[in-house]
Amino acid sequence: MAILDFFGVRSKASPTRKAEVKAQYAPAVMDSPFSTFFGANNYGGYNNYANALVRQDAVSVPTIARCRSLICNTIAGIPLQMYSAKTGEELPNLVWVDQPDIRQPRSVTIAWLVDSLMMYGTAYLRVTEVYQDDNRPARFEWIQNDRVTVKYNSLNTEVDYYTIDGGNRLPMSGQGSLVTFQSLDQGLLTKSANTIKSALDVEKAAAVAAQTPMATGYISNSGADLPDAQVQGILAAWKTARQNRATAYLTSTLSYTPVSFSPKEMLYNEAKQYFSLELARACNVSADMVDAEMQKSMTYQNVLERRKEFMVYTLAPYICAIEDRLSMDDLCARGTKVRFMVDETYLRADPAARLAVIEKLLTLGLITVEQAMEMEDLTPMGSESTSATNL
């Protein structure tokens, strides 16, 4: 307390400014090698280098494209909602929760955010607008991974700063800074690079076989060697004769041997099926969801049970990574959480099952009729005293 305040005189000092939130956090490097050999000029970490495997090549494999669509598109269709961490009560959403990027719908931004987590293990949102009162982000834009360069320390264990498109150093807080999302593993392009490359090789070999017609047979000469002109004449005459008739005649010194290799004989079909199964495993997607099972065993399973299984084994790691990052203190006020409305949308039970649960809750007196109607998104019925009179 100042001396003037002690005698009842208020000093005219400027009011204390409200502390700002210093966003964003530079995450710990979870995928750095165990030595600095991998780094060059302190630019290290697996995700900081151009992968030997390009994302566009990876998604050209049908199984990966299918897994990507199942994972990214499903999560993108689930709304986000802010909740109180203490009571679980729904809170009004901040503007970026409903639409992170002002230029596009929320689902598009979330889909590509999950895509980055799936492929690279890391995703980036650049802050385009901030709130003036606390410096927290108000709008974002998704940044493609190969546009970002990370400057690490000498041991590749901490992030010093980021750059985009080889430009200037980005700020570590406020407008223009990056919000980094980390997956629970290193990403598909790193952990399954060899499998994807092998699958691409099989696709390329099958494409070459389809584009390059193979000889259906060859003519052998047991006599004296013939000059090239006569050989070409014999082949041309053979082709012309086959267009006119199926029966052929050869002299005693010439013989014909048929040659034919189908994709099945070249084992292309088996190899493609095998790699489809392996890549489905790498993506944590059930093989039957991408038609990669070699021997299908059909079992009855309703839609809700199938969705629960897909949620637990496939979607949960990505949903958890995004929810936890969006709920950190640099983006939300302490005590506020951002969650995907999984139970209310994706895992919502059928109407008959929901009504049975509501009826049981009403019987036990745990909820009122108005609360039951709210659970089903129904408008409460007005009483006679509050209803309007038609004139």
Q: Are residues 172 and 33 in the same domain?
A: yes
Token reading at 207: 């494409």
Q: Where are the alpha helices (DSSP H) in 123-221?
A: 188-191, 193-211
* pLDDT at site 280: 93
Residue 11 lies in a domain: no
Q: Locate 292 and state its tokens.
A: 């990669």
Q: Rounded to whole angstroms, how far apart are CA atoms 12 and 5?
A: 11
Q: To which residue do tokens 């109180």 refer? A: 84
Residue 285 sits in the same domain as residue 246: no
Same domain, 114 and 206: yes
| pLDDT of the residue at 76 | 95
Same domain as 234, residue 160: no
Q: Is residue 386 part of a domain?
A: no
State the total domains in the chain: 3
Number of H helices, E strands in the chain: 14, 10
| Claim to verify: residue 174 and residue 268 sit in the same structural domain | yes
174 with 57, same domain?
Answer: yes
Q: Are residues 71 and 156 in the same domain?
A: yes
How many angstroms separate the Cα of 355 from the Cα of each of 135, 304, 319, 373? Answer: 45, 16, 28, 10
**Assigned domain for 85 exists:** yes
- 269 with 329, same domain: the answer is yes
Which residues, in sequence order, are bridge partners of residue 220? Answer: 255
1 part of a folded domain: no
pLDDT at position 206: 77
Predicted local distance difference test score (pLDDT) of residue 247 = 82
Residue 353: predicted pLDDT = 72
Instruction: Round to whole Å and give the CA distance between 333 and 284.
Output: 34
Residue 4 lies in a domain: no
Q: Please report, for residues 1, 5, 10, 243, the alpha-carbon distance to residue 13 in angstroms, rounded to integers and kept in the order given.
A: 13, 12, 9, 103
Q: What average pLDDT values come out for the chain (391 residues) when binned by 10 residues?
A: 45 48 72 45 43 83 94 95 90 95 96 95 94 90 92 83 90 91 90 91 79 71 88 87 81 81 67 89 90 58 81 94 94 93 80 77 84 73 45 36
First to last CA, the chain: 68
SS (H, E, C) 239-289: HHHHHHCCCCCCCCCEEEEECCCCCCCCCHHHHHHHHHHHHHHHCCCCHHH
- Residue range(s) defining the domain that contains residue 304: 18-213+261-348
Asked whether residue 67 falls in the same domain as residue 156, the answer is yes
The C-alpha atoms of residue 110 and residue 326 are separated, in whole angstroms, by 12
Look at residue 370 and tell me if it is in a domain: yes
Tell me which residue of 201, 200, 208, 199 sits closest to 273, measured CA to CA. 199
Residue 152's SS3 state is strand
d(CA 101, CA 107): 10
Residue at 23 is within a domain: yes
Q: Are residues 295 and 202 in the same domain?
A: yes
What is the predicted pLDDT for the residue at 166?
86
Domain identity same for 119 and 252: no
Distance CA 51, CA 120 (A): 9
Position 111 scores a pLDDT of 97
Whether residue 9 is contained in a domain is answered as no
* Angstrom distances, CA of residue 315 to CA of 71, 122, 372: 6, 16, 30
- Asked if 154 and 288 sit in the same domain, the reply is yes
